[in-house]
Amino acid sequence: FNYTAMGDTVNLASRLEGANKFYGTVILASESVRQAVGDEYVWREVDLVRVVGRDQPVRLFAPQANTPASPDAEALRARFSEALATYRAGQFNQALALFDAMADRDAIAAAFAERLRGWIANGPPQPWDGITNLESK
């Protein structure tokens, strides 16, 4: 017998697995997975995206080990959160400066900085609604 998993949940999981290449991550989880896992991990919000095959946006999170919080890790999470809010507000030059300040030690920030450089040079997606559209699988 050959078995195949099918359905919306499997499709979304496949899209999120593919999205790792856009963020320099290994694991991305949807908000529903984050809630189901609970407090075993510290979660960092990564982005709000529309994946291929879905109209509703999905909030992405990356897990981090639940170790005693270092001041550096907490500060990075806070700075990233500020940069993400600036990005969503469409303040791309300011967001680029914030992401660039973290890019040397954070792959996700580096991915955002690269994306923003392209948008600033070639024009951002229009209309901007704060949601990243992932066009490929």
How far apart are alpha carbons 106 and 103 in whole angstroms?
5
> Cα 79 from chain centroid?
15
Predicted confidence at residue 43, as pLDDT, reads 87
| Gap between the Cα atoms of 113 and 105, Å rounded | 13
Handedness of CA 28, 53, 125, 91 (dihedral sign): negative
pLDDT for 104 equals: 94
What's the CA gap between 135 and 82, in Å, rounded? 26
Residues of the chain with pLDDT under 50: none
Please give the pLDDT value at position 107. 94
pTM of the model: 0.87
Instruction: Give the separation between CA 85 and CA 80, rounded to whole angstroms.
Output: 9
Residue 42, pLDDT score? 83
